[in-house]
Structure 1
Amino acid sequence: MPPSTREPRLVDFGARVRELREERGWSQEVLAERAGVHRTYVGSVERGERNVSLKNIYALAEALAVRARDLFPA
């Protein structure tokens, strides 16, 4: 999906997930394993290509040891 067609909120959410993952020194594969999702799913979330379900928001938050609301940019 070209960057110009992505929903800005999804892009911002993905950037926040990437920021938190990189702060921990984790690869996408490590985050995916801890969250119980596929590595390609994490990549598409980080690129803002996925409208993430509530279930997966909580799975990502738990894996990153943050509150779900911390995944959303301020």
Structure 2
Amino acid sequence: MRQIFSNEFTLTKRHLGLLFLAAGLLVLASVLTAEWLHAGGFGTVQKMGALLGAASLLIGLTLLPLGDQPG
């Protein structure tokens, strides 16, 4: 953790991809959990959340192969 806050730390495309993957999984899991708990049906907001989660996953997957190049 100390390394992240140092002046020499560089956020790479792989790090950014992992962040996007984690965010996408979190959003998709929360949308699907809300639906599983019968929170009033799969409405417009849940559709937008699922779309944003899927888009975040796709962006993260495309950034991972780019490796350790700085963003």
TM-score > 0.5 by shorter chain: no
The higher-RCO structure (CA 8 Å, 6+ apart) is 2
Larger radius of gyration: 2
